[in-house]
Amino acid sequence: MVMFKRTTREDTKLLKVVNELLRVLGKEKVLSGIEDRLCYSYDGTKQKALPDIVIRPNTTSDVSITLKVANKYEIPICARGAGTGLSGGAVPLQGGIVFDLKGMNKILSICPEDFIATVEPGVVTKHLQDEVAKHGLFYPPDPSSAAFSTIGGNVAECAGGITGLKYGVTRDYILALEIVLPDGSIINTGRKTLRSVTGYDLTRLFIGSEGTLGIFTKITVKLIPKPEKIDTLAAFFCERDNAIDAADLVIENNIVPRTLEFMDQMSISAVRGYGGVTLDEDVKALLLIDIDGTGENIKHDLSVVESACKKKNALRVKVAETSKEREAIWAVRRSISPALYNIAPHKINEDVCVPRSRIKELLQKVDQLNDKREIYVANFGHIGDGNVHVNIMFKDEPGQEEIAEKIVHNIMVEVIKLGGTISGEHGIGNKKSQFMDLEILPKELSIMKKLKDFFDPKGIMNPGKLFPSSA
């Protein structure tokens, strides 16, 4: 656990901040007891750092008041949605204030006639999906954490997920934002219209900003009509390359599936037997494919997909006949993350993305980097977008962590050589900030730093994230 030793002067300052916040917000919204602070000290990376104060705002005004106080005393601020982030974004590395935004969880409006909804940041992604579905509408961004993660966290990370190939990612559905800046002032970016090209696109600048520029307090999203039907197919292969070739052939045939997910041999071994999952021993690679649309087009697309998989030597292809079968196929995919811990107790979960045509090369490079088989590597993910979750697993033995970290570094170098990016969807946080300058050249990095300094001159917003320590 990161604990900063404080001087008496800093303690006195914190006490003043707590008292001022208690006075303006009241004790229900200001927590400073150790039990409360512990609950806000971690995220999905399992890193821990204790905040000094937790604020639970209900309104934009609560956020603004808090930021004014934080700005005056130069106290670090870390926004938190559900804390499911996988790059350290919600971990308050330098203590200070954590904003628990889950209390701002109202769906403010759904306008079916305009294909638009406006929500508070703490709305859980799946709740929004379910509510708009009642109007025959669809909010497509679908991270696997959708049942827990918040829209605010999704916007801050520009979350992707399994529907990205056909429908795009979070940034493709964000029309307007209400944002509280570090000095407590409130701005509105974008418009509640399906198009707007007036001025610079500030909305896009804030999407993926990982809580380093401001706090989103209202989010307007674009909706689309809900597809009539979804069908699911699983294709089983005995060779990894056959599965990759089959995925390519599906797309060459002009079929864009709703999801096109891949699992390699290590991922399959991990889930085999987990939670009742059965997968034959000869299966070494798997494609999980959803097709959506109307009955007629689904029938056509499924037959093209099935024949593409067979052409590329699939051992078998299983089309789900019932919703129970569909659920069983997706249970395999969902169980990977927890099941990987059966292989080794430690996991570094990377989310690199390369042009789809270079996935085979990427996986070959990863094999080469671990040719001594000193650690375990499981690859799975959104093959349709070139976004592969390379999971480096290692044991509690001397030297294993160093080997794992060296392999991760070398993977990043190879990804850049392949024309890819170090993060396709999880963001940079502090976990990947050391690799930023492999991808972002000094000139561009200095522009990003200037933007950060413009919006947050005192550097109070999520310090220690996004930028390498040298920037």
Q: In this complex, which beta carbon is closest to ligand FAD, that of residue 59 or of residue 364?
A: 59
Q: In this complex, which beta carbon is closest to ligand FAD, that of residue 43 or of residue 301?
A: 43
Backbone φ and ψ for 290, nearest 5 degrees, come out as -110, 135
Q: In this complex, which beta carbon is closest to ligand FAD, that of residue 90 or of residue 309?
A: 90
| Cα 260 from chain centroid (whole Å) | 18
Say whether residue 123 binds ligand FAD (CB under 6 A).
Answer: no
Say whether residue 51 binds ligand FAD (CB under 6 A).
Answer: no
Q: In this complex, which beta carbon is closest to ligand FAD, that of residue 261 or of residue 306?
A: 261
**Cβ at position 8, least distance to ligand FAD in Å:** 30
Say whether residue 154 binds ligand FAD (CB under 6 A).
Answer: yes
Q: Which stretch binds ligand FAD (CB under 6 A): 31-39, 159-167, 268-276, 303-311?
A: 159-167
Say whether residue 210 binds ligand FAD (CB under 6 A).
Answer: yes
Please state, in angstroms and as integers, the Cα–Cα distance from residue 71 to each residue in 65, 326, 379, 431, following that order: 10, 51, 43, 26
Per-residue x/- marks for ligand FAD, 445-464, CB under 6 A?
Answer: -----------------x--
**Cβ at position 280, least distance to ligand FAD in Å:** 26
Q: In this complex, which beta carbon is closest to ligand FAD, that of residue 78 or of residue 287?
A: 78
Say whether residue 53 binds ligand FAD (CB under 6 A).
Answer: no
Among 153, 257, 420, 464, binds ligand FAD (CB under 6 A): 153
By CB under 6 A, how many residues form the interface with ligand FAD? 36
Q: In this complex, which beta carbon is closest to ligand FAD, that of residue 100 or of residue 292?
A: 100
Q: In this complex, which beta carbon is closest to ligand FAD, that of residue 214 or of residue 245?
A: 214
Q: In this complex, which beta carbon is closest to ligand FAD, that of residue 89 or of residue 227?
A: 89
**Cβ at position 155, least distance to ligand FAD in Å:** 7
Say whether residue 89 binds ligand FAD (CB under 6 A).
Answer: yes
Residues 320-349 that bind ligand FAD (CB under 6 A): 337
> 400-417 and 359-369 are packed helices; what angle lies between their axes, rounded to 10 degrees?
150
| Number of other residues whose CB lies within 10 A of the CB of residue 309 | 27
Type of residue at 133: A
Among 86, 233, 329, 339, binds ligand FAD (CB under 6 A): 86
Q: In this complex, which beta carbon is closest to ligand FAD, that of residue 230 or of residue 413?
A: 230
Q: In this complex, which beta carbon is closest to ligand FAD, that of residue 127 or of residue 135?
A: 127
Say whether residue 90 binds ligand FAD (CB under 6 A).
Answer: yes
Q: Which stretch binds ligand FAD (CB under 6 A): 31-39, 81-89, 241-249, 408-416?
A: 81-89
Among 157, 231, 261, 292, binds ligand FAD (CB under 6 A): 157
Q: Which stretch binds ligand FAD (CB under 6 A): 150-158, 250-258, 312-320, 449-457?
A: 150-158
Say whether residue 82 binds ligand FAD (CB under 6 A).
Answer: yes
Say whether residue 118 binds ligand FAD (CB under 6 A).
Answer: no
Q: In this complex, which beta carbon is closest to ligand FAD, that of residue 208 or of residue 227?
A: 208
Residues 6+ apart with CB under 8 A from 115: 137, 194, 222, 223, 224
Q: Which tokens sit at 151?
A: 């829209």
Q: Which stretch binds ligand FAD (CB under 6 A): 211-219, 224-232, 360-368, 411-419?
A: 211-219
Q: Which stretch binds ligand FAD (CB under 6 A): 153-161, 272-280, 320-328, 354-362?
A: 153-161
CA angle 261, 264, 267 (to 5 degrees): 95
- Residues lying near ligand FAD in the complex (CB under 6 A) are found at 43-44, 78-86, 89-90, 101, 121, 143-145, 149-150, 152-154, 156-157, 159-161, 210-211, 215-216, 337, 425-426, 462
